[in-house]
Amino acid sequence: MTRPGAAVLPLLLLLATPAAALEPAEVVDAFEGAGGRITTFRPSHAKGVCAAGEFTPTAEGTRLSVAPTFAGAPVPATIRFGVAGATPRASDVARTTRSLAIRFETAAGDQWDMANISAPIFGARTPEMLVAGLRARRAGPNGQPADPAAVAAFVAANPQSTRQAAWLGQRMPPASFATTPYWGVNAFRFQGRDGEVRHARWVFEPAAGEQRLTEADAARLGPDFLAAELRARVAQAPVAFDMVLQFPAAGDDVTDPTVAWPADRPRATVGRLVVTAVEPGPGGACDPISFLQLDQEPGVAFSDDPVLQGRAAPYAEALSRRTTPR
């Protein structure tokens, strides 16, 4: 059984290519080149707040997966909400992703970590594309901005990389961590009680409904309100999200996270996540968690999506840089 301590970056934001193509250090170097030296904070979604709660599967979830998390009993959850960026000073009103990272752990010790983002698509088709994009955005000498020509050349060669930013740019930011959907943009394999294996993606849909800021709200609230708003909200009543699986139709690509599947694809609500407590300040139980472990097979397993493959080594490299003085 795999245990924590092997990784640090959110699942969707640090990926490895096969060893012959990129060494783990090269992947992490690309993040440092674009976002700065990794020290105390995570290099992706560095700004965040830890929370706690539980996940209760539905009967449909138990039918669709034999994973321990869907066995039937409520499962404790360690939760982290975050704001995109390599700095804990990232703006809460920026048109960037928010994140929902979760660790489920059953009474028997079975773990499932996931990291979800507030957009239905990822910014890279392959690990190679991700690293190339980071390298194109490498900061210049003495903290100068990245070379615009290098960024433009990368975008021209990789138009898929613009889809997430375009989606975000068409929408105002979330009004709360509690009022945005969070997508797991990669496909996984779910083995049901009937023995059938089904590809699926998921989304955590807010029970409070989707709510976004207005321009006036953004100006009034400023760049640092989300954590305090969540604390106040949960102090009044638990915050809930429904976990919904979406299944592909013939022709839908299960290996390309830069393309969202059409909204009319079959769906099933498989559980409810309830947030019951939020840390009063920075830090908490989520800080040392990698949000990498997937100890749920055969009920839930990776698909052949390349961004889900070969990631353990660079996660370990990033953790070492964050926790070991250099």
Q: Show me where the domains of the chain are located.
A: 24-323
Mean pLDDT, range 42-52, rounded to an integer: 88
| The three-state (H, E, C) secondary structure of the chain, written as one string | CCCCCCCCCCCCCCCCCCCCCCCHHHHHHHHHHHHCCCCCCCCCCCEEEEEEEEEEECHHHHHHCCCHHHCCCCEEEEEEEEECCCCCCCCCCCCCCEEEEEEEECCCCCEEEEEEECCCCCCCCCHHHHHHHHHHCCCCHHHCCCCHHHHHHHHHHCHHHHHHHHHHHCCCCECCHHHCCEEEEEEEEEECCCCCEEEEEEEEEECCCCCECCHHHHHHHCCCCHHHHHHHHHHHCCEEEEEEEECCCCCCCCCCCCCCCCCCCCEEEEEEEEEEEECCCCCCCCCCCCCCCECCCCCEEECCCHHHCCCHHHHHHHHHHHHCCC
Whether 199 is catalytic is: no
pLDDT-based confidence at 326, cuts 50/70/90?
A: low
Q: What is the mean pLDDT of residues 231-239?
A: 98
Predicted pLDDT at 301: 95
Quick: pLDDT tens for 101-158: 999 999 999 999 998 999 999 999 988 888 899 899 998 887 788 999 999 999 999 9
Question: Which residue of the set 45, 47, 80, 322 is catalytic?
Answer: 45
Residue 13 vs residue 316, higher pLDDT: 316
| Arithmetic mean of pLDDT, 265-276 | 98
For residue 106, what pLDDT is reported? Answer: 96
Q: What is the pTM of this model?
A: 0.90
Output the CATH code of domain 24-323.
Answer: 2.40.180.10
Mean pLDDT in residue range 263-273: 98
pLDDT band at 22 (very low <50, low <70, confident <90, very high): low
| Stretch 68-90: mean pLDDT | 95
Which of the two residues, 121 and 283, has the higher pLDDT score? 121
| Total length of the chain | 326
What per-residue confidence (pLDDT) applies to 282?
85
**Position with higher pLDDT, 292 vs 246:** 246
